[in-house]
């Protein structure tokens, strides 16, 4: 069975969704860059090895990245899943996990990389918004997209209502993507494109969070 290490910084609801999904993958550890990440509580309650690599204890990005890599490597994971991990990783670390580090981003990439995606989506007046799971590359919120889930932007939406609608989709697509990695279905087609074999997803299903 493949193993995954999940990196968090905060609430950890995506981590929880992955853990609760009962995937054919072992969650080997949860690692946080913040000691006060609320998600650490769920990890402990679930009996998962949890570790803090406190970013404040390191004077340079390189030193932090080295400590993080050592903490990850202790579990020799097949996949590293960034789940609300709010820290930009250095190129060396990202390259070390080339093709086997994924992230979830709360927008339909390549639209709205970076922060405050829901506010920016509302300001832009887009009618469809969503979330993306992508393979991590040294560029921020870039890299081959594995799966996306879309939701409508409704009249009267606030940042909060839209975020909640997108989060529901995140909790569906992230476990799905981890499952595909665990089942060896993810293929790199070249030119930065990922293909997933036999997803069972029909052509119109991505527009609705209910059908993915």
Give catalytic residue positions: 105
Closest CA to 22 of 51, 52, 46: 46
Nearest to 126 by CA among 160, 105, 154, 104: 154
Q: Which is nearer to ligand GRF, 66 or 161 (CB)?
A: 161
The distance of closest approach from Cβ of residue 119 to ligand GRF in the complex, given in angstroms and rounded to an integer, is: 13
Asked whether 186 and 196 are in contact (CB, 8 A), the reply is yes
> Considering only residues 5, 6, 7, 12, which one is a binding residue for ligand GRF as defined by CB under 6 A?
12
Q: How far is the CB of 38 from ligand GRF (least distance, A)?
A: 8
Least separation in angstroms between residue 168's CB and ligand GRF is 11
Where do we find the tokens 């493949």? 2
Which residue lies nearer to ligand GRF by CB, 93 or 166?
166
Half-sphere exposure of 66 (CA within 13 A, CB side): 7
Angstrom distance (rounded) from CA 185 to CA 60: 37
Question: Is residue 87 part of the contact set for ligand GRF (CB under 6 A)?
Answer: no
Among 5, 10, 144, 180, binds ligand GRF (CB under 6 A): 10
106 binds ligand GRF (CB under 6 A): yes
141 touches ligand GRF (CB under 6 A): no
Packed helices 159-182 and 117-124: angle between N→C axes, nearest 10 degrees: 120
Residue nearest to ligand GRF (CB): 84
Residues 41-80 that bind ligand GRF (CB under 6 A): none
Residue 104 makes contact with ligand GRF by CB under 6 A: yes
For ligand GRF, the closer of residues 39 and 143 by Cβ is 39
Q: How far is the CB of 156 from ligand GRF (least distance, A)?
A: 21
Total chain residues near ligand GRF (CB under 6 A): 14
Helices (H), the chain: 13-20, 39-45, 61-73, 91-96, 117-124, 159-182
Residue corresponding to tokens 């929880």:
16
Q: Which of 31, 89, 101, 105 binds ligand GRF (CB under 6 A)?
A: 105
Per-residue DSSP letters for 11-59?
Answer: --HHHHHHHHTT-SEEEEEEEESSTT-THHHHHHHTT--EEE--GGG-S
What is the 8-class DSSP label of residue 109? T
The residue ranges that bind ligand GRF (CB under 6 A) are 8, 10-14, 39, 83-84, 104-106, 167, 170
């Amino acid at each position: 069975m493949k193993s995954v290490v999940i990196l968090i910084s905060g609430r950890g609801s995506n981590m929880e969704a992955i853990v609760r999904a009962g995937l054919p993958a072992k969650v080997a550890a949860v690692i946080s860059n913040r000691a006060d990440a609320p998600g650490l509580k769920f990890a402990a309650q679930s009996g998962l090895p949890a570790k803090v690599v406190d970013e404040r204890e390191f004077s340079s990005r390189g030193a932090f990245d080295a400590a993080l890599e050592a903490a990850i490597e202790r579990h020799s994971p097949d996949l590293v899943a960034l789940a609300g991990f709010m820290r930009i990783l250095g190129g060396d670390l990202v390259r070390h996990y080339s093709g086997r580090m994924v992230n979830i981003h709360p927008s339909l990439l390549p639209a709205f990389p970076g922060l405050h995606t829901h506010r920016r989506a509302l300001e832009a007046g887009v009618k469809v918004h969503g979330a993306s799971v992508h393979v991590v590359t040294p560029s921020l919120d870039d890299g081959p997209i594995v799966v996306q889930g879309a939701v409508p932007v409704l009249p009267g939406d606030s940042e909060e209502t839209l975020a909640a609608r997108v989060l529901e989709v995140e909790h569906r697509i992230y476990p799905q993507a981890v499952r595909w990695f665990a089942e060896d279905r993810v293929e790199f087609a070249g030119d930065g494109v990922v293909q997933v074999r036999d997803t069972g997803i029909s052509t119109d299903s991505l527009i609705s969070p209910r059908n993915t």
